[in-house]
């Protein structure tokens, strides 16, 4: 089955890289969803949005030299604003954001502490 630019199809995520995700389309062809085409917000890590073997709807945005360019964010269009509320979708609640921040902060503190201790010569060693 030949894919056509502008068509929306379902596919399965077969691989995730730091620059995007590969999606297997019907007919066995594989296309790339670039990191900039995953969501309307800034995507730092593709794995925050997609997992391998996940079934996703994608829009074919270009076909050139045997490569297929795909988009997830164009399937759903731009976020709709109504009544001053933020758009619905992948937004997380304040509590989830706070919990993630605290977890990451704690990890950074532990890494920094380990780094400083290793430069001092280990735990509990002090210069006299």
Q: What is the pLDDT of residues 19-78, one digit of tens each?
A: 999 999 998 999 999 999 999 889 999 999 999 999 999 999 999 898 999 999 999 876
> How many folded domains does the chain comprise?
2
According to DSSP, the β-strands at 30-34 and 55-64 are unpaired
Whether 100 maps to a domain, the answer reads: yes
Quickly count helices (H) and strands (E) in the chain. Answer: 2, 5
For residue 113, the enclosing domain spans 90-120
- Going from the C-alpha of 67 to that of each of 6, 60, 117, 125, the distances in angstroms are 15, 11, 50, 58
For 3, phi then psi, to 5°, come to -85, 145
Are 14 and 72 found together in one domain? Answer: yes
Structure tokens at 23: 């999606």
Are 15 and 66 found together in one domain? Answer: yes
pTM: 0.59
Are 63 and 112 found together in one domain? Answer: no
For residue 112, the tally of other CB atoms under 10 A from its CB is 10
Which residues touch 75 (CB under 8 Å, ≥6 apart)? 8, 57, 58, 59
Are 19 and 43 found together in one domain? Answer: yes
């Amino acid at each position: 089955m030949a894919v056509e630019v502008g068509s929306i199809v379902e596919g399965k995520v077969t691989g995730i890289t730091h620059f995007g995700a590969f999606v297997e389309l019907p007919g066995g062809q594989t296309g790339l969803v670039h990191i900039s085409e995953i969501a309307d917000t800034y995507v730092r890590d593709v794995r925050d949005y997609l997992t391998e073997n996940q079934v996703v709807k994608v829009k074919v945005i270009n076909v050139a030299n045997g490569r297929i360019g795909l988009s997830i964010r164009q399937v759903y269009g731009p976020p709709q604003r109504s009544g001053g509320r933020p758009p619905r979708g992948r937004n997380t609640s304040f509590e989830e954001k706070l919990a993630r921040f605290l977890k990451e902060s704690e990890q950074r503190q532990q890494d920094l502490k380990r780094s400083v201790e290793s430069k001092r010569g280990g735990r509990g060693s002090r210069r006299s």
